[in-house]
Structure 1
Amino acid sequence: MAELKLLQIDYAHFAPDFMPSFSALIWLSWKGCPLEFTQTKFHPMNLVVHDLSYSLLTNYWMGWKHIKVAKNLKVLNLTGCQHLVKTPKLENCRLEVLILENCENLAETDESICDLESLVILNMRGCTELRNLPYGIGGLSSIKDFNLHLCKGLEKLPDSIGLLQNLETFDSSFCGIKDEGIPDAIGWLSSLKILRLGGNNFQSLPVTVSSLPVLQTLDLRFCNELESLPALIGLRNLKRLNLDNCQSLAEIEGIERLDSLELLMMKNCRSLRKIGKISGLRKLKELIVTDYSMLYEIKCLEELDSLELLTIKG
């Protein structure tokens, strides 16, 4: 097995006397890895992709020290590792993808995560016990995709989130984010294309959201406490705006300059009384406004030259 490069041993247990070094391995899938780690000669120095999803490992698992020799490790999948309470120490590695999805008892992040300068994707979706992010998270200078969806214990984002200048997709929907939980610094994200903030508990957004120069998707659905939007006049590249189930939203103003907008969704906005001037939405293809009770008029519909689908139903 000295030259073995690909190995899938999901839910396997090794006999104590089976001790190859696996030094040539590049890809290893060991889903359901047991808590007991008996491979004392395990030395995967060339490992690039390691899948340990749905394993029983803890922060004191003996295998971590053997993984540290994999200096070229780029992908580490820890999906569904329910016994992790803190992200593992990840020092001196070139990790590009870290998946911690549905690690439901993960409550803390080790500071070493902030030093992963090569990290491109960080998926913490469904880490329901996570309470905060370290300020040093702004040190992830290469990150492009950051997923915090369903981190229900997360009430605010650190100011340093604005330092992620290469971030393109950010999802912190259905967390516990409250008023002032989204910092003004979010407007510094000059590469951001997709922003998902739906299902949170804030009443307003910082004005700086309108400063995101390349934003294409803004998803605010199920923000039941959201009462108002800042003027979105700076979002000249915005193509999709979803306000479904924003039941406290009373009016929408400052959208007439969204001249790239193609989709505008406002289902079940029960408190909506006024939609501002929309005649400037020359590229709008779909307009959906349903389940409203207080909206009496939408002006300038006849000027929407590109409209292909119009749904208006009270």
Structure 2
Amino acid sequence: MIKSDVTYEDGNYGTLAVVRSEWNKRIEEDILRKGCTEIEFNSAKGWRGDELPPLDALSDLLGIEILGFNIKSIDSVHVLKQLRSLGISTYCNTPIQFENFPDLEICSLEWRKKSDSLFKCKNLKDIFINKYPYDDLKPLQLLTKLERLALLNSKLKSLDGIENIKNIRRLRIANLRGLTSLDGIENLSKLENLDIDTCRKITHINQLENLENLKEVFINNCNEIESLKPLRYLKKLEKVAFVESTNIVDGDLSPLMDRKPPLTTVAFMERKHYSHNREDFKSN
């Protein structure tokens, strides 16, 4: 079977071209002929190259994904001024001039220096940042349309500033070793999904008790959490997980029991001091 240089699949905005070899003129012509709206350069899927190829002929693209940790430059991305979705997972030092992308809605970024212009993209709805460099969230205060935020492996110490981005529906935070509190999250009245992983200095979730739109709460690998009582009256709650090292100190799992309708998912490590075990939830 002959391996194709490029394959095509459904994307967010139309047809996505996945480059699976070294870039060549034939690939460019084929992508143009098919009217693709998005492109993916991913070394794990066969693309080979130490820099992003010239993209002037594809300047109408709405989305691009770049993944490869040996890439030296991605400067040619700046010709794609109609981008609505941009994903960059590289270790190169190319500064990203986000002012070139006024319509950007989705961004996934391996942080690099001189990327602060990202926080002026006021149409952003979805951000994933690995190694966000700041102590708080004040740099995001202009992103009032933001609905999904994920921050991993960051030096973040406080959620201060999150009160300015009240449209967030999904929040994911992971491996934030300096974060000691969820203060500020109580302002996110539209929040539906909260995923906390390996934030081991957080000790309680009291800030959640009035977030009535919460459907999913995951607090995994977070050491000691005082109590689940703040979840008791969240009527829309569907899924709760507190696995790995997370330990509910008061042992009271009753806030998750006898709910109407019952929770669809409850996942946890059984502990001797817990009021209920996993079997209790199967029959609930």
Amino acid at match of 2:281: L
Please list, as runs of the form range in 1=range in 2, the aligned pairs for 1:1-314 lying within 5 A after superposition.
9-10=5-6, 30-33=19-22, 48-54=37-43, 55-58=47-50, 63-64=53-54, 67-68=55-56, 70-80=58-68, 82-84=70-72, 88=76, 90=78, 93-101=81-89, 103=90, 105-107=91-93, 109-110=95-96, 112-124=97-109, 127=110, 130=111, 134-148=115-129, 151=130, 153-156=131-134, 158-173=137-152, 175-180=153-158, 183-267=159-243, 268-270=245-247, 272-273=249-250, 275=252, 278=255, 282-285=260-263, 286-292=265-271, 295=273, 297=275, 310=281
What number of residue pairs does the alignment pair up?
260
Q: CA RMSD in A?
A: 3.9
Q: Contact 1:272–1:292 at 8 Å: present in 2 too?
A: no
Cα distance in 1 for partners of 2:69, 2:248 equals 42
Amino acid at match of 1:83: I
Amino acid at match of 1:140: C
Cα distance in 1 for partners of 2:16, 2:242 equals 46
Cα distance in 1 for partners of 2:74, 2:132 equals 15
Q: Quick one: structure 1 residues 118 and 309, their matched pair in 2 at CA, closer, same or farther if it must change by over 3 Å?
A: farther
SS in 1 for 2:197: coil
Amino acid at match of 1:123: S
Identity %: 13
SS in 2 for 1:137: helix
Q: Contact 2:5–2:21 at 8 Å: present in 1 too?
A: no
Q: Contact 2:182–2:207 at 8 Å: present in 1 too?
A: no
Q: Deviations over 1:114-172 (max 9, x none)?
A: 44221222223xx3xx3567443222222222223xx3x44436523233223222222
TM-score, structure 1 as length reference: 0.65
Q: Considering fraction of residues, name the structure with more helix.
A: 2
Larger radius of gyration: 1
- Structure 1 residue 273: deviation in Å? 2.8
Provide structure 1 residue ranges, at least 5 long, that are not aligned to the other structure: 1-7, 11-25, 299-307
Provide structure 2 residue ranges, at least 5 long, that are not aligned to the other structure: 7-14
Cα distance in 1 for partners of 2:61, 2:192 equals 33
Cα distance in 2 for partners of 1:155, 1:275 equals 37
Q: Contact 1:200–1:222 at 8 Å: present in 2 too?
A: yes
- Structure 1 residue 109: deviation in Å? 3.8
Q: Considering fraction of residues, name the structure with more strand.
A: 2
